[in-house]
Amino acid sequence: MDAPMNLTDRFGRSINYLRISVTDRCNLRCVYCLPENGVQWQARENQLSAEEIARVTATMAQVGVKRIRLTGGEPLVRPDIVEIVARLASIPGIEEVSLTTNAMLLEKLAGPLADAGLKRVNISLDTLDEKKFKQITRGGDIDRLWRGIAAAEEAHLSPLKLNTVVVNGLNADELSALARLTIENPWHVRFIELMPVGNAQNWGEGFPSLDERYISVHEMQARLSHYGLEPATTPMGNGPARTFRIPGALGTVGFISPLGEHFCQNCNRLRLTADGYLRPCLLLDGEINLRENLKAGTPLLPLIQRAVDAKPAGHELLLQHYPEFRRMAQIGG
Ligand code: SAM
């Protein structure tokens, strides 16, 4: 049988986007994502090599995958991240390689990554307050993040997206200040609902309790009503975000609601874990093992097709079916 020229799942969704977690390791410990101590990292020898990641990507490019996002863990802690980008960007059919990062190592790497073919970066930024940044990330330095953003702009890694996970009692009071960043900067600030996965348990002293934390995108929008937000689009499409603009602003403000108004009906992606499993859905357990075929050099396409066929209609968080097998940092968010 000839290989299919594109990947379409049981629900007619075309799969053209691959998110790759290149490592589960991270140089920060954001409260909602990882516990403060005692994280068990995967053994380094279990991580796919740059060559193996490129092989999966090249196979997927043959059947219509065009966009790649590298994530983690923190993708920039991988010593061969520039090589990974260079390999992926040179694969025929891959139109865009982008990356999601906490920006702690971006100042040095933005230039080399752009030279290697990286197009854009998304940066996680949950607060503008230096002390709170340190508290939420458990040790992060917000000045390094701003220097990383400056380096990304200098390297033309644009348009820049800033992702904020909004938590009641922690940073929900900063929505207005974060949105204000878009007035004079061509940045796309996206406010994301907290998902009840990852480090969902007690975050420790000084943090809101579990039932206080969740705030819906409706509530977020209501809190920004004074800006008179107008519907907008971004140059790279809106993805899962509902996007608006403060009148006259250079950038946009987006809202992502994995819970209340989930966007599974438009899901166009697969996820590859750092240890070589394809995940049909971020929020439901269930994976296809590519490792043996990668090691043996046997065809990957039948397994990729199986992962596409296994894509569920949508996640089941509202039925309280949570992913338990892996942490967010292992899947890549
Ligand atoms: N280290 C990189 C970073 O900080 O952007 C990439 C990996 S991180 C797991 C990817 C994204 O997942 C981040 O924007 C993070 O805020 C988000 N994330 C992690 N846990 C989350 C949760 N429980 N709910 C919503 N977003 C979450």
Average pLDDT (143-153) is 98
Q: What is the mean pLDDT of residues 260-287?
A: 88
CA of 49 to the centre of ligand 1 (A): 23
Residue 117 alpha carbon to ligand 1 centre in Å? 24
Provide the mean pLDDT of the chain.
92
**More confident of the two residues 22 and 2:** 22
Q: Name every residue whose Cβ is closer than 8 Å to that of residue 19 and which is 6 or more positions away in sequence.
A: 68, 69, 71, 269, 270, 271, 272, 332
Alpha-carbon distance of 68 to 181, in angstroms, equals: 27
How many of the other CB atoms lie within 10 Å of CB of 119?
A: 20
Q: Residue 42 pLDDT more than 50?
A: yes
Q: How confident is the model at residue 4 (pLDDT cuts 50, 70, 90)?
A: low
Residue 239, pLDDT score: 77
Q: pTM of this prediction?
A: 0.94
Contacts of 96 (CB under 8 A, 6+ apart): 66, 67, 68, 119, 120
Res. 2 pLDDT band, cuts 50 70 90: low
Contact yes or no for 243/233 (Cβ under 8 A): yes
C-alpha span between 39 and 24 (Å, rounded): 10
Q: Does domain 7-331 have CATH number 3.20.20.70?
A: yes
Average pLDDT over residues 187-200: 88
- Ligand 1 atom having least distance to the Cα of 26: 1
Q: How far apart are CA 327 and CA 333, in angstroms?
A: 9
| Tokens 């250079």 sit on residue | 250
Domain ranges of the chain: 7-331
Distances from the Cα of 1 to the Cα of 11, 301, 302, 310, angstroms: 22, 12, 11, 20
Residues with CB under 6 A from ligand 1: 26, 32-33, 71-72, 74, 100-102, 124, 163, 165, 192, 194-195, 197-198, 328-329, 332-333
Cα 333 to middle of ligand 1, angstroms: 5
Report the separation in Å between the CA atom of 297 and the middle of ligand 1, taken as the mean of its atom positions: 33
pLDDT at position 196, please?
A: 81
Hey, which of 30, 121, 189, 272 would you mutate to test ligand 1's pocket, going by the most ligand atoms within 8 Å of its Cβ?
Answer: 30
Phi, psi of 330 (to 5 degrees): -85, -25
pLDDT, residue 330, reads 75
| List of E strands, 1-78 | 7-8, 14-15, 17-23, 67-72
Give the count of alpha carbons within 13 A of 135, CB side only.
14
CB atoms within 10 A of CB 280: 21
